[in-house]
Amino acid sequence: MSTTPTWREFAVTSILPMAAIAIVIGCGASGASDKDATATQTLTLGAYTTPREAYGRDILPAFAAQWRAKHGKAIAFEESYLGSGAQAAPLRAGSRADLVALSLEPDVELLAGKGLITGDWKQRAVGGMITNSVVVIGVRSGNPKKIVGWSDLARPGIKVLTPSPKTSGGAMWNAAAIFGAAFLGHVPNLPAGDSAVAEQFLREVLGNVAIMDKGGRESMLTFEQGVGDAIITYENEVLAAREAGQAIDYIIPDATLLIESPAAVVDAYADRHGTRALADAFLDYLTSPEAQRAFAKHGFRPVVPAIAAEYADKFPSVKQPFTIRDLGGWPNVVQQLFAPGAVFERASTPAVR
């Protein structure tokens, strides 16, 4: 990983303590003694905002029930949900999560760079990734602005929402998707392989941005309140909003970026807290069929091929998907797009609010 700091590292001016939500699951299981029921282990999870419902409603209760059935002990979860960059910053400063589930690889690497993650987290199943999604364009019901792809977001008068890369991993995915589509030659009338042209296209899109919220979830809430004509977001965010009754349609551009989101045990804290076995087991559970189906229920594309095949009808195919690796990998993308003074900072001024 490049040692070049990202713009967001310079933007964090205050570190907030982990706002934990503690829940205890499984203490009332039949057949357990009172002593067993009070032998509770606590696992602290630091996660980015968008999978909150998947964890809280399905994954945490199911894992706790499985753990209790196997070990006879209840689990208390302490949960913190913030934008991925905002989550990583306090963890680096001393907030002590046993396990992190973040939006993108560089935020995990920041923790590794501080010596908090000491193992090779990418050696886990599926390269350390637990969910997939794609960058999409959310639009008003019926698509009144007739938006069909990235180039439409640069049209005069189109009001766009996307979160800020200072705090949001989603914003980094969004910007990389727009820049990457242009650079790889997937935007009509733009030549491939020209970074200056791709930067100018990103500038035109960002020039239409009305509001940059702190995270993907906040950005979606702003859109639900009637602000903007289009929102650049994760597919799962749109699906969650529709599940909640919001009248939102979405467009998958012909070429868009595959979002690969990781999880890792924070070795320094898990060992200090004596939760290593529990943290490892929970991380393994996140790629189990049960957890992958729970993620799919909440709009995430499974990373396990066999489970992904079960949901082929739910998730539309992408004509020309590309990955961060097609753009040179995260170290290159961070340095080229998100370092101080790099592409995003140049292109977003004065778009950043």
Q: pLDDT tens digits, residue range 249-301?
A: 999 999 999 999 999 999 999 999 999 999 999 999 999 999 999 999 999 99
Number of Cα atoms under 13 Å in the Cβ half of residue 34: 0
305: burial class by Cβ within 10 Å (0-12, 13-18, 19+)? exposed
Closest CA to 230 of 178, 265, 281: 178
Terminal Cα-to-Cα distance of the chain (whole angstroms): 30
pLDDT tens digits for range 211-223:
999 888 899 999 9
Predicted local confidence at residue 90, as pLDDT: 57
User: Residue 291's closest CA among 104, 131, 121?
Assistant: 131
Q: What is the pLDDT of residues 20-59, one digit of tens each?
A: 444 444 444 434 444 444 578 999 999 988 899 999 999 9
Q: What is the DSSP string of 272-288?
A: HHT-HHHHHHHHHHTTS
Instruction: Outline where 225-329 has alpha helix (H).
Output: 235-243, 267-273, 276-285, 289-297, 305-310
Q: What's the alpha-carbon Rg for the chain, to the nearest Å?
A: 20
250, two tokens: 């979405």
- The pLDDT tens digits of the residues spanning 238-257 come to 999 999 999 999 999 999 99
Tokens (6 digits) for 8: 């967001």
Q: How far apart are CA 291 and CA 295, in angstroms?
A: 6
Residue 102 above 80 pLDDT? yes
Distance CA 343, CA 182 (A): 13
Whole-number Å distance between alpha carbons of 109 and 333: 14
User: 114: Cβ–Cβ under 8 A, 6 or more apart, which residues?
Assistant: 92
Report the distance separating Cα 259 and Cα 299, nearest Å.
Answer: 13
Whole-model pTM: value is: 0.85
Structural domains present in the chain:
7-131+260-310 (3.40.190.10), 132-258+317-348 (3.40.190.10)
Residues 48, 81 contacting (CB under 8 angstroms) = yes
- Alpha-carbon distance 171 to 174, whole Å? 5
Contact 100, 108 (CB under 8 A): yes
Contact assessment for residue 64 and residue 77, using Cβ atoms and an 8 Å cutoff: yes
